[in-house]
Amino acid sequence: MQQTPQQAIELRIEQLTGHLSEIRRNMEKIIADNHRMREVVRIAESELRKRRDQVQKLESELEGLQNNKLEARARVEHAMEKLDDLISQQGDAS
């Protein structure tokens, strides 16, 4: 049995409607995936900011500790020089 032009048009409309529904479902899935990925990126960026802050804090602490070490070394060297002076003065006095 041959289709009438009206039946052919209705069949084509039905096929196109099915394709449009599939496209809509795929689009909704892509949009949902996009929202999830944006949330993942937002969380990752937040974590990255926290880590950067931690690194900056640790670098600052390290710099302070290195400065303290240099100051302590200078004090020790100064004390050693004074001890050497005292020892040489006592050696001269005897």
What does the pLDDT look like over 11-24, one tens digit per residue?
999 999 999 999 99
pLDDT of 91 over the 90 cut: no
Statement: the pTM of the whole predicted model exceeds 0.85? no
pLDDT tier for residue 94 given thresholds of 50, 70 and 90: low
Q: How far apart are the first and last CA of the chain?
A: 134
pLDDT of 92 over the 80 cut: no
**What is the percentage of the chain residues whose pLDDT exceeds 70?**
98
Burial code of 60-83, b = ≥16 C-beta within 10 A, e = fewer? Answer: eeeeeeeeeeeeeeeeeeeeeeee
Name the H helices within the chain.
5-93
pLDDT tier for residue 93 given thresholds of 50, 70 and 90: confident
Delimit the domains of the chain by residue range: 1-94
